[in-house]
Each structure stands twice: as C-alpha cells, then as structure tokens.
Chains A and B, each alone.
Chain A
Amino acid sequence: MSEHTIVSLPDQATARIPKDNYITRENGLLSWLLTSDHKRIAILYLISITFFFFIGGALAGLIRLELLTPQTDLMATDTYNKVFTMHGVIMIFFFLVPSVPATLGNFFIPMMIGAKDLALPKINLLSWYLYMAGGLLALYTMAIGGVDTGWTFTTPLSTHYVNTNVLTTGLAVFIAGFSSILTGLNFIVTIHKMRAPGMTWFRLPLFIWSHYAASILMVLGTPVLAIAIVLIALERTIGIGVFDPTKGGDPLLFQHLFWFYSHPAVYIMILPGMGVISEVISNFSRKRVFGYTAVAFSSVAIAVFGFFVWAHHMFIMGISNYAVLIFSLLSMLVAVPSAIKIFNWSLTLYKGSITFETPLLYAFGFMGLFTIGGMTGVFLGSSGTDIHLTETYFIVAHFHFVMVGGMLMAFLSGIHFWWPKMTGRMYPEKISQLAAVVTFIGFVLTFFPQFILGMLGMPRRYASYPPEFQILNVFSTAGATILGVGYLLPVLYLVWSLRYGAIAGDNPWQATGLEWQTQSPPLTENFTEMPVMDHEAYDYEWLEEQQKKEARSAG
C-alpha cells in the first residue's frame, strides 16, 4: 500500500486547538446538562449511546456464550428469553435509532446548512432527557427482572401469558419514542426553514437528504408505536379486549400497529447511515457523488415506500393470503431505491482518486455487507421463501447484516470522519484501520454461519438446538469475540486521541462541506458570519480555488 493520503494536517509544531470553541466556551457540569448548543447535545448523546451499546453488547455476548452448546447450560430458558429481549430493545431503541441522527445529525445538520443551531434548541435538549429517562427505565427493568417477550412484544403472549415487566419496558420504549419524534421534528423544521442564503435543496449534502427522509419516518411512524404500547398496557392491566380473542379482539391488530412503525424504523436506522456513506465515499474518491439527484430522491422514496410494506413481518401470523400478496409485491419495490444508492456509490468510486483511510474502510465494509443483507431481505420479502426462512436464524443474520454490517459500520465511518471536526484531534490511523479490518472479519465470522443455520432450520429465540448445529454456532460465537475486540478498540483509541491525537486543523480531509470551512472544534455559534452557498455540493474544484486563494493571501 502506498503512502498516498489526502490527510492534510497543520504543522504540528505550531498548531494549537483554537482557544474559543464550543467545548471551552462555558465550563461546569450544568453548562453541559442545561445546554441548548446542538453540538454539546450531540456529545451528550454520543456518550450515552456508547454506554447503552456496550450494555446491549454484553447481552449479545451472553447470548453467544449460551449458544456455544446445544443445551441450555449457561442460563435457564426463561433467562435466555429475557437476555435476547433486552438485547433487542436496547440495541434498537437506545442505540440504533438515535445513533447517527442524534450524534452526527445533531452536530452537523445546522453546520452543513449554514445555520447557528437547530430550529428548536430547547426541544433538542428535551429529546436527550427523554432518551435518558427511557434508557434508565429500561436498565431498571433489567434490574428488576427484565421482560421475555422478544423486542416485538407479540400479542397475545405479551398481554395474556407472561408475568414479566412488559409495562415498564413498554413505558421505557414509549418515552424513547418521543425523544425520537422530537428529534425528527426538529430536523425537518431546521432543514426547511434555516438554510443559509444560496443553499438550495439540490446543493444540500446528501447527509441532509438522508436525515430529512429519516425524520419524516420518525414523525409519522413513531406515534403509531406509541398507541400500540398504550393499548398493550391497557390490555394487560384492565383487559379492554382489543387484542383478546375471548372478548372478540384480534391479536394481529397489535402486530399491524407495531410493525407499521417498526418497519419504517429500520429505515430510520439505516437512512442516516447511508447519508454518512455518501459523504465519506465522495470525500475519499475526491469526486462528487454520482447521480446526486437519484441518491437524494431515492432517500425520500425509501421513506415513502417504507410505509407500505410492514406486513411482510406478518406473513405467517394469520393475515389473509391476499394481504400477503399485496405486501410481498410492495416489498419487492422498496428494495429498488436502496439498490440505486449502491450503484451510485460504486460509480462515484469508479475512476476516483481513492485513498484508504479508516472512514472509507468502514464504508467499503458497509457496501459489501449491506448489499448482502439487503438482498437477503428480498428473499424474505418474497412470501414463498419467507414461509420457510422466517423465525429462523436466516432472519437474525439478515437484520444483523443490514444493521451491524451496514448501520454500525456507517456509524463508525462517520465517527471517524467527523472526529477531527468535533474534537480538533485526529484519531491514530494505523490502529483504526486495524480495528476496521478486525471488525469486518469478526462480523462475517459471527453472522454468515447464521444464514446457513437458518436455511438448515435452526429457529431463532431458542436457547437450545439440535447438536448438528453446534459447529456453526461455535464459529458464530468465535466471531463474536473478535467483533467485541473490534468494537472495543475505537473506544480506547478515540478516548486516547482526545489527549494525544494529532491536532487536526480546520479541514484535514480537504472536504467540501460547510462544516469543514470553519475551525475544529467549531465555535458555539458555528460561523462568525452567515455563510453564503455559491457552489454545488461536493464541488472539489471550488475547494481547490479556496485553497489557492488562501495560499495566495498567506504568501
């Protein structure tokens, strides 16, 4: 590998972190806990979601440990049910849903559009507090015995047959849902109303388009989850009968309401990650994103179509065959916009000046793994194959490929890409590249065998399995160990970099976004004067002009 890199750091002998920035502007714990600065709120979120990620990860470790052997020898079956339920609840609602939007979205949406803050800064802070309240309630639920229904709270199990903490978990998710709604609402208002002069819709970074689409899903989908949880709570406590067959209710109604949110939720999770990938791929190929308009519209298309396909999670649950037909057909359509993005990113890379810094390594991982995950999603959308593959490890593998191989890699890509901007420091490149490769290897070893297990018929959510499945499970657990190392490394070296990392300067990646044309870390008010957008997005020629101008004025 050549030493060719686009990283351009200032002279380390004389470089200094700017004295006045959003971190140093005010001191004291209260100035963080009562802040209305979107960047500080983003950091608060970053710390909290990392915390919840490792809790969810520990639960995953317990799952994989149990599945090393065919018998339930590590924990009782009931306990295992609780472990995988809490793993799902925490990873989905307290890590994946807020991951990119609440950290990178909060930090960079105002900066990318040339604004001083989000439209509703206090609501932004409220979002974080709601998130923390929900998260702490979820932890409390774990402490008092957890819940064992699976994160999907399927009725009538959750309403009539378990005596675990469905209500407290439901309340935790309900509260976190409002955090998500308020974040999405804030983003939509900001993107519509606070763009700088000259920042037309088609000059916006694709990161913004992705977050806009995800925000539409948050605002329109999450309230339906809220009402579904309310109904479960009332069914469990009073017995209102809406999901109770003995009173004439239909348990499937809950599933319709639940999945009406939870399918768009997967797009809430992945779209912001796709936004990150657009930025990273453009920057490390030194080329504008191929087919900007297609990528922008495909984000919105994913959001819109994502609302029409939810019952593909219910093919075997008892809905009518005609509904199965309709939803299966529509599910085929929703894959198309995602595929369009993969093609456009590939064509962006083609004939680009590619360098292999860590963000791009994670982006490559994303492209490969998301493609596999997405394609297996199409296999599941086809109702004929779904009947055999659903509720097996094939599903588990599918969603981990898109969520972990896809979304989590995109998150890490974004964190590394924007780390210098957020902290003023560069992360250590060699060890981060190693961590990316380790993560990729660990991931494939963990989850690829699960596709095979699923096709062979191993059911999901089971603590025990037939002995002939053991060897693949052992591979999977071995991979999980490697994956754990891969995720631990960034925490360690990123924290290390806060003190010892190279000073990054304004624009170490020579990137084109507005956020890169200011100091690192940024000022509290982001810009000293309102920027005017006079060029297209990903305009590397414009950047060259700027750099020539600066060289001339400095010389």
Chain B
Amino acid sequence: MSGHNEQARHIVGPGVYLVILFALLLGTALTVWASYVDLGLWNPVIALAIATTKAVLVVLFFMHVWYSTKLTKLTILAGIFMFLVLISMTLTDYISRAWGQW
C-alpha cells in the first residue's frame, strides 16, 4: 500500500548479484577460450550456448525475472518467440534456395 511494487517486493541482495557476476565472468573466459579450440561445427553452437546461458542469468537475476509474475515471464517468452520466428522463417527461404527446383 505504501509504494512497494512487485519487483521491490522481492529485494534481491548483493550476495545473489555477486554469484551471478562471477558466473558471467567465468562464462566470458570460457567462451573466449573455446573460440581458440577447433571444434568444427560445434564452435558456433557452443559460443551461442554460452552467450544464451549468460543472457538467461542476466534476465533471471539482474532483471529479477526469477522473482517476477507470470505475466512478465510470458511477455519475455513472447518476445523471444517472435525474434526466433523472424530469424528461422526467413532462414527457411535462404536455406532451401540451394535445394533446386523441387
């Protein structure tokens, strides 16, 4: 009643933030190291996987989504979904052009 909103209701402390900070720094080191190793087709997969893990940590804990309402989580998922639709459905054209007429 006195001005605390849904995000403030969950006050995330410095402890959580520090853990996430170190996880992110670790992920950075990992991804740089991985780019120097020849893993063939897996290089971009691993790079994106690490980047996505870092992003998820930022979203969940720095941006408090772990503690947020269903609406917030759904909104984010909708955005990610649309982003993926844009990329993947555009790629259906580019990937299949080389397949020939039929």
Hey, which bits of chain A sit against chain B, CB under 8 A? Answer: 192, 216, 220, 224, 252-253, 256, 260, 307-308, 311, 319-323, 326
The residue of chain A having its C-beta at the shortest distance from the C-beta of B79 within the complex is A220
B2 at the A interface (CB under 8 A) = no
B82 touches A220 (CB 8 A): yes
B93 touches A321 (CB 8 A): no
B94: chain A residues within 8 A (beta carbon): 320
Mark out the residues of chain B between 44 and 100 whose CB falls within 8 Å of any chain A CB in the assembled complex: 71, 78-79, 82, 85-86, 89-90, 92-94, 96-97, 99
A320 vs B99: C-alpha distance in the bound complex, in angstroms? 8
A313 vs B14: C-alpha distance in the bound complex, in angstroms? 52
A192: chain B residues within 8 A (beta carbon): 71
B102 at the A interface (CB under 8 A) = yes
Task: Report the minimal beta-carbon distance from B72 to chain A, rounded to whole angstroms.
Answer: 11
A323 touches B96 (CB 8 A): yes
The residue of chain B having its C-beta at the shortest distance from the C-beta of A318 within the complex is B97
The residue of chain A having its C-beta at the shortest distance from the C-beta of B102 within the complex is A321
* Pairs of residues from A and B, 3 with the lowest C-beta to C-beta distance, nearest first: A322-B96, A323-B93, A320-B96
Interface of B is mostly: helix
A308: chain B residues within 8 A (beta carbon): 85, 89
Q: Contact flags (1/0) for B18-55 with A, using CB distance below 8 Å?
A: 00000000000000000000000000000000000000
Q: A260-B86, A326-B89 are in contact. List 9 more A-B contacts (CB 8 A).
A: A216-B78, A252-B93, A256-B90, A260-B90, A308-B85, A308-B89, A321-B101, A323-B92, A323-B96
B93 touches A320 (CB 8 A): yes
The residue of chain B having its C-beta at the shortest distance from the C-beta of A317 within the complex is B93
Hey, which bits of chain B sit against chain A, CB under 8 A? Answer: 71, 78-79, 82, 85-86, 89-90, 92-94, 96-97, 99, 101-102
B90: chain A residues within 8 A (beta carbon): 253, 256, 260
B85: chain A residues within 8 A (beta carbon): 307-308
B86: chain A residues within 8 A (beta carbon): 224, 260
B99: chain A residues within 8 A (beta carbon): 320, 322
B78: chain A residues within 8 A (beta carbon): 216, 220
Task: Report the minimal beta-carbon distance from A100 to chain B, rounded to whole angstroms.
Answer: 23
B93 touches A319 (CB 8 A): yes
Task: Report the minimal beta-carbon distance from B13 to chain A, rounded to whole angstroms.
Answer: 28
A260 vs B85: C-alpha distance in the bound complex, in angstroms? 10
B78, B82, B85, B89: most-surrounded residue (chain A CB, <10 A): B89
B92 contact from A216, A252, A260, A326, Cβ within 8 A: A326
A319 vs B93: C-alpha distance in the bound complex, in angstroms? 6
A252 vs B92: C-alpha distance in the bound complex, in angstroms? 13
A260: chain B residues within 8 A (beta carbon): 86, 90
A307 vs B86: C-alpha distance in the bound complex, in angstroms? 8
A321 vs B95: C-alpha distance in the bound complex, in angstroms? 11
A67 vs B16: C-alpha distance in the bound complex, in angstroms? 70
A311 touches B82 (CB 8 A): no
The residue of chain A having its C-beta at the shortest distance from the C-beta of B90 within the complex is A256
Task: Report the minimal beta-carbon distance from A217 to chain B, rounded to whole angstroms.
Answer: 10
A307: chain B residues within 8 A (beta carbon): 82, 85
A322 vs B79: C-alpha distance in the bound complex, in angstroms? 27
A323 vs B102: C-alpha distance in the bound complex, in angstroms? 11
B96: chain A residues within 8 A (beta carbon): 320-323
Task: Report the minimal beta-carbon distance from A222 to chain B, rounded to whole angstroms.
Answer: 12
The residue of chain B having its C-beta at the shortest distance from the C-beta of A310 within the complex is B89
A311 touches B93 (CB 8 A): yes
The residue of chain A having its C-beta at the shortest distance from the C-beta of B92 within the complex is A323
A256 vs B88: C-alpha distance in the bound complex, in angstroms? 12
Task: Report the minimal beta-carbon distance from A63 to chain B, rounded to whole angstroms.
Answer: 33
A319: chain B residues within 8 A (beta carbon): 93, 97
A442 vs B82: C-alpha distance in the bound complex, in angstroms? 41
A220: chain B residues within 8 A (beta carbon): 78-79, 82
B93: chain A residues within 8 A (beta carbon): 252, 256, 311, 319-320, 323
Task: Report the minimal beta-carbon distance from A231 to chain B, rounded to whole angstroms.
Answer: 14
B79: chain A residues within 8 A (beta carbon): 220
Task: Report the minimal beta-carbon distance from A379 to chain B, rounded to whole angstroms.
Answer: 23
A321: chain B residues within 8 A (beta carbon): 96, 101-102
Task: Report the minimal beta-carbon distance from A500 to chain B, rounded to whole angstroms.
Answer: 49
A192, A216, A260, A322: most-surrounded residue (chain B CB, <10 A): A322
Task: Report the minimal beta-carbon distance from B78 to chain A, rounded to whole angstroms.
Answer: 8
The residue of chain A having its C-beta at the shortest distance from the C-beta of B82 within the complex is A220
A319 vs B78: C-alpha distance in the bound complex, in angstroms? 27
A311 vs B99: C-alpha distance in the bound complex, in angstroms? 18
A256: chain B residues within 8 A (beta carbon): 90, 93
B79, B82, B93, B94: most-surrounded residue (chain A CB, <10 A): B93
The residue of chain B having its C-beta at the shortest distance from the C-beta of A307 within the complex is B85
A-B contact pairs, 8 of them (CB 8 A): A220-B78, A220-B79, A308-B85, A320-B93, A321-B102, A322-B96, A322-B99, A326-B89
B71: chain A residues within 8 A (beta carbon): 192
A321 vs B101: C-alpha distance in the bound complex, in angstroms? 7
Task: Report the minimal beta-carbon distance from A265 to chain B, rounded to whole angstroms.
Answer: 15
